[in-house]
Structure 1
Amino acid sequence: MASAISYILFLSIFSSAFALGAAQPRQSNISLDTSLHTTTNPTSWHSPNGRFAFGFYPEGTGFSIGIWLVPSPENSTVIWTADRDDPPVTKDAVLKLTTEGLKLLLQNSEERLISNISTGNNASSASMLDSGNFVIYDSNSDVIWETFDHPTDTIMAGQVLGAGSQLVSGASETNHSSGKFHLILLNDGNLVLYPVASPDGSEDSYYDSQTSGKGYQSLNLDDKGWLYLLNDNVTYNLTSGYQSGTALVYRATLGVDGIFRLYSHDLESNTEQVLKKFPDVTDPCAVKGTCGLNSYCSTSANGQVVCTCLPGFDYLDANRTSNGCRRNFTASGCYSNNDNTTYMSTVYNVAWTEFSYTAPLSVTSKEDCGEACLKDCNCDAALFSDNTCRKQLFPLRYGKTDDSTTTFIKLVNISPAAAPVVTIRRKFSAKILIVSAAIIACIISSLVALIFFFYRYRAGRYRRLWRNKEPALVDEIAPRSFSYRELREATDGFKEELGKGAFGTVFKGTLPRGQRVIAVKKLEKVVDEGEREFRTEMRTIGRTHHRNLVRLLGFCDEGTNRLLVYEYMSNGSLADLIFKADGHPSWDERVRIALDIARGIHYLHEECETRIIHCDIKPPNILMDDNWTAKISDFGLAKLLMPSQTITFTGIRGTRGYLAPEWHKNAPITVKADVYSFGIVLLEIVCCRQSMELEADEEDAIILLDWVHNCFMDGELEKLVADEVDMTELNRLVKVGLWCTQSEPGARPSMKNVVTMLETNVDISLPPPPGFSS
């Protein structure tokens, strides 16, 4: 066995040395004073085989310097980043090879070295090698600096991670700054994964190679996919060997989720494959630190991680719920008191890594465990499992769902009526209990009486409205069924056309008796479904009640005639308002309208009884009422289209210019498609122009999204608006629009977060370019 291992090592070392020695003369092709630029060629230096590139790549609103695998989709597999925790540079930055090394030239004559060459050595040339290593040579062609010595989150075949060295995950798929997890080869030879924000103790690790005390000095990856620990001539294999070939490239990367993965890239088919995972788990909550302090991890039905705060805690950052939680009350000194304001709140089925400050207690019930913590001045929380109680201090760490553990959290300064889930509290006196019972009895009696009179009144109104056959009844109950004859008479034979859209033509009408003005939409090419199914769909749409949605008053489904009756919107559409040449709404009105639309979409996505994906958010589908309140129309109708009916493209439901990229990729369509469309509409509202204008004054302004991003990156937002606006608010709205229009659905915010960003002055991080993902 030892001889075989020695033979493998000999071949590996020999082949690596041969490849490097043979290739270096033709690879030393970057001479002194050669420069790279962010947007004009050259932007990068490529390896001779064309697999790797070193240079500028888009990150956030600017550019970072790194190395990436060229054949990967959109060149998005970044394997190394320079100065990863510095902010991205602007587009006027220049990278130059000087005798001091790689020098970054910035605005105002600022300079920064990104390669730390030891004193006494001068750079003479550099190379991007076929291995993925960027090296700098002195005048003797000796390597004096290389990226392989300064790994970020990845090691490549031929690269060595020495004892005491580490890999640190990226912050996100599109942000390559330092993230939440790191992989360390300890000096005792154990390879361990920890959360970054931890003491790196044994209780903090979520994976180790179980090689403690073996003295392994390096983590190695060879060109056959062997990932192994090495100590002199003794190896410990973490993986078996895989295929080798001229088209295969291997890398091992610590992902943003804390999983260390071995990948193979087949450059001929431009595909990648995960060969091994450390740890090999399917539940993301098994990775400690996935959720921050004082929060616990669970997974939703679609496999997404959900981080939930403890009772009495709020998120540190509502936009980044995985960052952990902090107390929303102040506890000074000992907060176990006798004034009935200290409670124990219960969280069921959540386990934590235990950091008990006392020996475990043997108890006979959960209640005894909670009571023990309640009486202890120092106790913040208690964990109960297997009749054992363990007292804890905040913060609690690494919480995840578990069927065997009950958690008790001590809360203070919360009135009994406002306390969340309370299972143990101080006993009230008999007098307080009697008074409380009397008050509750009075409240219940009053509620019963109110409910009785309310429903009696409602029933009477229902009967009156039904007799009058007025659609006002749907304001409180459900959409009314109209006959085709009624709607033909109401519209005077469908005489006055208000507009024509993807779903059909809209006519103005008036109902008798109440002289109520309505809009009647004649649906075209709808799904040929039964009467019961159509009525069910109408009632689903009719149950959506929100001030920013156009109300469905009724419908008709006689034979092939399918018509919808809506409230009439007197002030036309948003398109009429913002695209007309004779004047635009004021800035404050535009901001209010954008918030109206966002609230309406949020209701459709998260708050109505049946969640609805609109599929065609655009200005013509946003209507304005008498008070200029924006209301969304045509929601819930996408599923009524026949399979052959399209709005712009076959198989696609939406309108050119507002379609999310996933429509063109045959990918699943989620609510994030509406978020993308809203982002385009938001930018149109801000700029009072359409998403595409072929006759734009400047060529780079034809596509609105590209123009907005360029102006944002160049700090020239004033070009976007013709009137005087609040520049801080303009910057905020543009950021929201750019986040909503990210190419990857997962990078877009939810509409709930969009509403929050528009309503409040929360800090909004810099969005990456809409078309770039990594």
Structure 2
Amino acid sequence: MASDLPCIVYFFFLLFPSSSVAQRNGNVMVGDSLTAGDEATPWLSPAEDFAFGFRQLDKKDLYLLAIWYNKIPDKTIVWYANGDRPAPKKSTVKLTAELGVVLNNPQGGEIWKSGPGNGEAAYGFMNDTGNFQVANANGEKLWQSFELLTDTLLPTQIMEKGGFLSSRLSETNFSQGRFQFRLIPDGNAVLNTINLPTGFPYEAYFWTYFWSNTVDSNSSNAGYQVVFNESGYLYVLRARNKREVLTPGRVVPAAENYHRATLHFDGVFVLYSHPKNSSGNESWSVVRTMPVNICTDVRGKKGTGPCGFNGVCTISTDQRAICRCPQRFSLLDPDDPYGGCKPDFPTQVCAEDVPNAPEDYELVQLTNIDWPESDYEMYTPYNIEDCKKACLQDCFCNVIVFREGTCWKKKLPLSNGRQDESVNGASFMKVRKGNYTLPGPPPIPKKNRDSLVLVVSVLLGGSVFFNFVLVDVASFAFFFIYHNKFTRTPQVERAVQSNLRCFSYKELMEATNVFKEEVGRGAFGIVYKGLVQIGSGVPVAIKKVDRFVKESEKEFKTEVDAIAQTHHKNLVRLIGFCDEGQHRMLVYEFLSNGALASFLFGDVKLSWNQRTQIAFGIARGLLYLHDECSTQIIHCDIKPQNILLDEHYDARIADFGLAKLLSLDQSQTFTAIRGTKGYVAPEWFRNMLITVKVDVYSFGVLLLEIICCRRSVDTEVGEERAILTDWAYDCYKEGMMHALVENDEEALNDMKKLERFVMVAIWCIQEDPNLRPSMKMVMLMLEGIIQVPVPPCPSPFSIAS
């Protein structure tokens, strides 16, 4: 029979030439493909119970390569390939002979591949069990989706010892989350949290049948497989065919019902069933949840529970986690209630000369709330009044819990918070008196203020503003026909000379549907999506400059003229402007891939090669602004949000030349200086002469962010790594630069370029502007044309202080 299979495969090619027919029968032939965003039918299983293809994510034009229940209205996803790297629109998935299933972006770059195993793939098959398989011409299995575990187990699927399910990061974010279901070496199936950057597992909060330290892997009772059988029963299989069943009682028949076991993003492992022939109104029925109470069962000194640090977990009626923040705290990420909380007031600091004395704080009572793993001190026997007094006089203390004559002191960050009636005793949170909201980080001691001014500028940048990007692409050909569209006034004559179109306020009102669609806002004003008519509709971004310098009516026109005279492939092009009465607006081309920030700090990550090319592009754009323009332009606000990417992921600098348009009384992003804190050069704080070297400094910070794919300040990675500029120099000095690009194999294989880029960045962030290179020198060093000298410590002034 095996010898006949090559003929059978060939017969498939003859009999089913169209991909739609192949899909109806579950078969996928080498060369078949799907495109993200197209309306093509996904690859279906024979009974059409399961589908393999692209699912659009909440983020516009990003797609997940997935398998889902095809006949259920909510199309529940049960497997996915590229959770950490969503695919842009027009990406393709293709079955190839050499590489198996391959997912490529629109430019042909590889996002993910299955690999063919040992042999050449001949066809694929979407099975009615939800398993997509790739086989060779002899029918031998080369790869199957069941072997690549995600967050769900399906009937007939087996998890071997050492295997694990990983939760998603959130309900709509399919990146790896903080929870795992594992079959560990001792044969026990457990649920545990992990350290996300390293994957290191923390203490388990659920065990199937043994405490993990009581059984070794050689025990006759040790489990060696987690089995989800075809009848819908989930169990741990032990020696001599003994079973530890996780499915309680009898289950509904598998012939009439779907079954799945999913590890949710909040750490709850749930067994479900769903009728196959439903009317469309039924939802998944819960068979069992593990653990019974995720809020109280997750413990441990390291990591945190489902609600993040400082969060409070309450169990819902379906035994899932509901998260909220305690009094006077707010969400760290307003869009993620499970991501933890931050105080809305300056917490007390243990330092001299700081205006946060004990009398500035008070205790507010909490109801049935505790963070049992955050204790650092215990007094017993004690009374509640002395417990309160002890916390108010202790600069480390943030919370107290008084229970049965014992006083427990806790400090931030608080972990594994829960609100439950089983929490006995009285708990209190220490907060700043009055209705005090937090405008920035806690005050810095005066004696250290000068030495830490750079760090302060970084820390203040965490809460500034929405980025005003997504500025879009228009054809360059339109720039040469604008002058035929309007009457030649003196203002228009100047616009013609600069290849800009002068729009009326009425035109831009119509183009934006009365400024209906806001796409961002920042220090320069609000940005609206628009469609201008130039032969056909052209999408643009229209920026209302609502804080221009009022002292000079000519200022706006002068700066617009200066911007209009710039022509470089690494700068965003200005199409036109409006200067009518009190209305000042700029009309830009629209770039399809948005801001660099979303690719550095978001879910979609760029490759090392893409990132280095982006760095080159930014450097070339700055070199042009500094040295090659007819009028030198200092950008003053270089940051990832102001670097836009076109359809080929080439970098374009946005908002250059706008700094002079700003008044000096702006709040939020700008104070008496110009620039975004975290990227601002130290000379802004020292009344020194401002030169193009402020852009060099900002570029250095941005270059480190491009290298490491992280923010310049990230308090969640630990105190040692929180300030990227400091940590990067420490890594360089200690010969540990590989730590900057952990898990980035492409960067780790290009250590010479990595070292060169880090050294250039350190030169750029020197506190002394005279030590910083020019952008011309930066370009030569980045390209390896000249050797990069050993950089000195970038902060000698701070160290000396």
TM-score relative to the length of structure 1: 0.48
Please tell me whether Structure 1 or Structure 2 has the larger radius of gyration of its CA atoms: 1
TM-score relative to the length of structure 2: 0.47
